[in-house]
């Protein structure tokens, strides 16, 4: 099972995002965990590779199960571990090996093209302190079919699509 570790890096009212060439969708930089890595080691390594930046003291903010389904059957499932950081060192790469990097104003995020569930992830991580857990279900065209998010210490918030 694929495991992805990424980080939402915020500097004042901006967030560093990566535009992936495949669909033109924006994501928080990160990537696949390697064997033997902890989720934190993976997030720090991937962030450095994709952006040139070293994260300082990233904090885990979300743990997500992603499901791709076709006619109700699970075609693929993976997990994503999302950190948040506000401190960093190092210089931004002029060009990331994975796409275009940009510091994006937080209030522009809702208008960027991205996976449907990612809007909820950015909204929570940028506006709340609690850790969230959840499952996002997509079809094979990456349309969001349903989500089920639960914040630590809060009531379950289910938004079935």
Contact residues: a second copy, CB under 8 A: 1, 3, 33, 35-41, 57, 59-60, 63-65, 67, 74, 77, 79, 81, 131, 133-135, 137, 148, 150, 152-153
Nearer to a second copy, 102 or 131 (CB): 131
Nearer to a second copy, 12 or 35 (CB): 35
Q: How far, in Å, CA of 39 to CA of 59, rounded? A: 11
Name residues whose C-beta falls within 8 Å of residue 92's C-beta, 6 or more positions apart in sequence: 16, 51, 52, 53, 101
Q: How far, in Å, CA of 38 to CA of 44, rounded? A: 10
Q: How far, in Å, CA of 110 to CA of 93, rounded? A: 25
CB of 104 to a second copy, least distance (A): 26
Nearer to a second copy, 62 or 99 (CB): 62
CB of 125 to a second copy, least distance (A): 15
Give the CA distances from residue 9 to residues 29, 79, 82, in Å, rounded to whole numbers and listed in that order: 9, 20, 11
- Exposed/middle/buried for residue 30 (C-beta within 10 Å: 0-12, 13-18, 19+): buried
Nearer to a second copy, 74 or 107 (CB): 74
CB of 3 to a second copy, least distance (A): 7
CB of 85 to a second copy, least distance (A): 12
């Amino acid at each position: 099972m694929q495991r992805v570790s990424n980080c939402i890096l915020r500097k004042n009212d901006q967030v560093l995002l990566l535009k992936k060439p495949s669909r033109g969708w924006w994501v928080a930089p990160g990537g696949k965990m390697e064997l033997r890595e902890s989720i934190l080691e993976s997030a720090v390594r991937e962030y450095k590779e994709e952006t040139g930046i070293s994260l300082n003291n990233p904090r885990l903010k979300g743990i997500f199960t992603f499901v791709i389904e076709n006619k109700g059957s699970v075609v693929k499932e993976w997990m994503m571990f999302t950190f948040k950081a506000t401190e960093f060192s190092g210089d931004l790469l002029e060009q990331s090996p994975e796409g275009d990097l940009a510091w994006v104003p937080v209030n522009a995020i809702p208008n960027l093209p991205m996976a449907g569930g990612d809007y909820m992830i950015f909204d929570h991580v940028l506006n709340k302190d609690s850790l969230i857990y959840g499952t996002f279900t997509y079809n094979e065209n990456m349309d969001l079919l349903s989500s089920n998010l639960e914040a630590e210490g809060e009531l379950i918030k289910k938004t079935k699509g």
